[in-house]
Structure 1
Amino acid sequence: MINEESLSENLKSDIKCLNCESEVSGKYCSNCGQQSDVTRYSLRYIVKHDISHGIFHINHGLPYTLKELSRRPGHAIAEFLEGQRKKHFHFFTFIIIAVLTNKVIGILGSFNYDDFNSIYNNDTVAKVDVFIKENTKIITLGVIPLQAAVSFLIFRKSKLNYSEHLIISSYIAGALLFIDLLYPLGFLVIHSKAETGLLTIVVEVLKIAYSIWVFNQFFSKMGTYSKGSTLVRSILSTLLILFLTYTIFLLIVNSSYM
């Protein structure tokens, strides 16, 4: 049984870290980095410490990451890869939060994606777009490796490995999922075919522009390519990913209706 008193005694003695058993002096273990102020888990501790500090703390939690990804995304991702990971939300956790948020908002909104069919003249294009919007969460996770492969090839002189490109793609994908929340929010106030079409254009252009912005800012910071070359490669990466994504799902949708 966990004894809370033994935890406190161990902390007061400043003898050993409860995680790696190294000698501790100060607030953190110099060997493994664990806080020396270890408290027995309780519901109050989980809510106050793990949730509030891990997700909602403005200086390093989810709000901080969202803020950084909205105003300086390329620099923020570069900082994470360079080792400044304490203040940034982990890329995998960020993706999970983005997917869950998108799912919950989608359920609460309970809007019908079939409304998108009315804004297209081409039935196949309409089916592909509706298919993508209905399966945004799964598709986003599936596209991450593809996006990483594309950016790895186009920015190969940057000397980043494929795993690092996966991290870049994960942060972009998570951010795009948050941008997708404009759809359910928009459907609360729009009621016509023209408004639905305008919403689609705004959101999709915003997502394309954001992806280009992230790539351009990130690789400009690295200085491997000239400014013009970096911008061209950023645009090419984004459009190629978009083209491959729609092509793949066009094949899937066509095969499902055969």
Structure 2
Amino acid sequence: MNKKSCLNCGHSISDEFCAHCGQKADTARITPHSLLKNDILGSIWHVEAKFFQTLKDILFRPGKTAMDYISGKRIRYNNFISLLLILFSFNVLGLHYYEKFAPPEILANDSEIKDFFSKYSKTILFVIIPMLAINAYFLFKRIKLNIAEHFIIGTVSLLGILIIFLLDDIVSLIGLWKPVSKIFEVIDKIIFGLSILFPAITYWNAFKNSYSKPGLLWRVSVLYVLMGIESTVISLILYEIF
């Protein structure tokens, strides 16, 4: 079998990738066909497939996804921090269009919640994850994860909440259409309830094989109590400062 040289670094290649720099062994001269198939369509498909696969795994198996990522199985996922910023931007955009198209009487009913999210969204983003991480670090000591690894689980929890909020934005926009408004009000409440429960779903999915059901239940319950107290304190501080 003839060995090829890597076009990037010149080292010999005997496998699918160069062992020295990681470039693919089948890298060749660019042709109109390869440009369309590999560079354009291939890149778009790879990015989109990976992006939506990551969203799906976070939404339907959040705890398993977080634990896989922590254990080193990362090639199938987008970077969680980058994804957090992307979803956060989408949520801000969705809120903007909701406020743009919603009638004044609807905005008047939920203006306090919307205004609070608009004003303190960045603070909320950077506070939820550390709160989850620190609380979970002490509540789930048996798992022996460090604080940074608990930070990843908290990030996945927030990513799931942001995905649900994005779905809620879409539902809210569709609900502005009068013939379906009542149905979508119910759907909106269900989605909001899921967003509240999502951290519990994440930790239950992550640690269900490490604790008994009663043990996991009281730990998740205490996590919510602590988060509720801490969120109230932070909201009061923000209110007093601003």
- TM-score scaled to structure 2, two decimals? 0.76
Is 1:235 equivalent to 2:221 in the alignment? Answer: yes
Check conservation: 1:128, 1:249, Cα contact below 8 A: no
Aligned counterparts of 2:28 and 2:85: Cα–Cα separation in 1: 27
Letter in 2 for 1:79: D
Check conservation: 2:87, 2:163, Cα contact below 8 A: yes
**Which has the higher relative contact order, 1 or 2, with Cα contacts under 8 A spaced 6 or more apart?**
2
The one of 19, 30, 53 aligned to 2:19: 30
Letter in 2 for 1:148: A
Aligned counterparts of 1:103 and 1:47: Cα–Cα separation in 2: 30
- The alignment-based identity, stated in percent, is 22
Check conservation: 2:168, 2:192, Cα contact below 8 A: no
The one of 178, 190, 199 aligned to 1:202: 190
Check conservation: 1:17, 1:24, Cα contact below 8 A: no
Check conservation: 2:6, 2:25, Cα contact below 8 A: no
Q: Deviations over 1:186-225 (max 9, x none)?
A: 3321589x9998677534421122210110110123x1x3
Change (3 A) 1:69 1:40: farther
Change (3 A) 1:83 1:172: same
2:129 aligns to what?
Answer: 144
Alpha-carbon distance, 1:234 to partner: 1.9
Alpha-carbon distance, 1:241 to partner: 2.0
Check conservation: 1:24, 1:36, Cα contact below 8 A: yes
Aligned counterparts of 2:6 and 2:215: Cα–Cα separation in 1: 54
Alpha-carbon distance, 1:115 to partner: 5.2
Alpha-carbon distance, 1:53 to partner: 0.6
The one of 52, 55, 64 aligned to 2:53: 64
Structure (1/2) with the larger helix percentage: 2
Change (3 A) 1:65 1:36: same
Check conservation: 2:3, 2:13, Cα contact below 8 A: no
The one of 90, 103, 109 aligned to 1:118: 109
2:158 aligns to what?
Answer: 173
1:218 aligns to what?
Answer: 206
The one of 46, 53, 65 aligned to 2:46: 53
Alpha-carbon distance, 1:174 to partner: 1.3
1:80 aligns to what?
Answer: 69
Change (3 A) 1:128 1:106: closer
Is 1:246 equivalent to 2:232 in the alignment? Answer: yes
Per mean C-alpha deviation after superposition, the further-off stretch among 105-114 and 136-145 is: 105-114
Alpha-carbon distance, 1:114 to partner: 9.6
2:116 aligns to what?
Answer: 131
Give the RMSD, CA atoms, in angstroms. Answer: 3.6
The one of 93, 96, 99 aligned to 2:82: 93
Structure 1 unaligned residues grouped into runs of 5+? 1-11, 120-125
Letter in 1 for 2:198: Y
Letter in 2 for 1:208: I
Alpha-carbon distance, 1:136 to partner: 3.2
- TM-score scaled to structure 1, two decimals? 0.72
Structure 2 unaligned residues grouped into runs of 5+? none
Where 1:141 maps in the other structure, the secondary structure is helix
